[in-house]
Amino acid sequence: MIEAAAKYDRIVQHGVQLRSSVAVQEAIKHLRDGLIGDVYMARGLVFRKRDDIGNKPVEAVPEGLDYDLWTGPAEKRPFSKNYVHYNWHWNWNYGNGDVGNQGIHETDLCMWGLNVGLPERITAGGGKFLFNDAKETPEVLASTYHYPKEKKFIEFEVRPWITNMENGAGVGNIFYGNKGYLVVYNYERYESFLGEKREPGPSGNAGGDHFLNFITAVRAHDKKLLNAPVETAHLSSALAHLGNIAYRTGRTLNFDPVAEKFIGDDEANAYLTRPPRAPYIVPDKV
């Protein structure tokens, strides 16, 4: 997508609405300006209610569904309601769990707040603990992303029920510095807490217009106006995939963020791509 946007000179906006929030933009400025000191860690939270989806049988494709088109480049399997509507998120053939669903918004904010790109070391653990259903992706996933050169760290948590609300952030981000911490709630509110006594610091609550930002950039034909350029889609999605790959291999992985390959690990690298199903093929060179 990045290559295509550049080649065809198109304006492409990533759908992470929080980047257009006035309050979140203000929170990021506080991080850059040293409000909470040296920011060394970001914690992303996705505590969403995800119910038992059961285990549906194979059945005939419903009338009105173009199942071939719906399947796209993925392996085509006999139809089941285990896959369609929202359930596709929980199947490795189509989705990547909540870290790559709701989590993309928070992985993006973690990297934005820490001012980092892709990590060098990834560890993850979790599993299915609540439901004996057709989900393949883990219900609970704890993944960590280490940036040793920058001395920074991302901790990401996914849970299927709102079991608790750390500082009210059932979905959101917490940034930690040596002078305090800052919490972003969902897409448009933040609070900060300073010093050992956690005294309330600056806070804000204001949304933004992500669509207007895109339209403005299109009319000006200037991608520099975008709050969420296409590159942010690649990075936030990649972080989610890296966590899932660490979970699926069951070990700590070393990653080259420039080459975007795992170091000395053929099994992990095999998860970075898969043969597409014809005719839904994206060429290597756009």
| Per-residue pLDDT reduced to its tens digit, 105-157 | 999 999 999 999 999 999 999 999 999 999 999 999 999 999 999 999 999 99
Output the CA–CA distances (angstroms, integers) from residue 178 to 20, 41, 116, 172, in the order listed.
Answer: 27, 10, 18, 20
Flag whether pLDDT at 236 surpasses 70: yes
Which band of pLDDT confidence, cut at 50, 70 and 90, is reported for residue 166?
low
Flag whether pLDDT at 260 surpasses 80: yes
Read out DSSP for 194-217?
ETTTTEEEEEEE----HHHHHHHH
Burial 161-176 (b: 16+ CB within 10 A, else e): eeeeeeeebbbbbbbb
Q: In whole angstroms, what is the distance from residue 46 CA to residue 110 CA?
A: 13
Task: Give the N- to C-terminal CA distance of the chain in Å, as an integer.
Answer: 9
CA angle 36, 171, 21 (to 5 degrees): 65
The CA R_g of the chain, rounded to the nearest whole Å, is 20
Identify the burial level of 8 via C-beta atoms within 10 angstroms of its C-beta, where 0-12 means exposed, 13-18 middle and 19 or more buried.
exposed
Dump pLDDT digits (tens) for 31-78. 999 999 999 999 999 998 889 999 999 999 999 999 999 999 999 999
Cβ-proximal residues to 88 (8 Å cutoff; 6+ apart), any chain: 94, 95
Mean pLDDT across the chain, nearest whole number?
94
Supply the angle between the helices 230-249 and 103-114 in degrees, to the nearest 10. Answer: 110
Q: In whole angstroms, what is the distance from residue 162 CA to residue 170 CA?
A: 7
According to the CATH classification, is domain 2-270 in 3.90.1330.10? Answer: no
Q: In whole angstroms, what is the distance from residue 253 CA to residue 245 CA?
A: 9
Order of all β-strands in the sheet with 253-256: 199-205, 189-194, 180-185, 171-177, 39-47, 152-159, 140-147, 121-127, 253-256, 261-262
CA angle 272, 88, 156 (to 5 degrees): 60
Domain residue limits, the chain: 2-270
Beta bridge mates, 262 = 255
Cis peptide, bond prior to residue 257, ω within 30 of zero: no
pLDDT score of 155: 97
Flag whether pLDDT at 169 surpasses 70: no
Q: In whole angstroms, what is the distance from residue 112 CA to residue 110 CA?
A: 6
Flag whether pLDDT at 164 surpasses 80: no
Which band of pLDDT confidence, cut at 50, 70 and 90, is reported for residue 26?
very high
Pairing of strands 152-159, 171-177: unpaired
Flag whether pLDDT at 227 surpasses 90: yes
pLDDT score of 163: 63
Residue range 162-167: mean pLDDT, rounded:
61
pLDDT score of 167: 52
pLDDT score of 90: 97
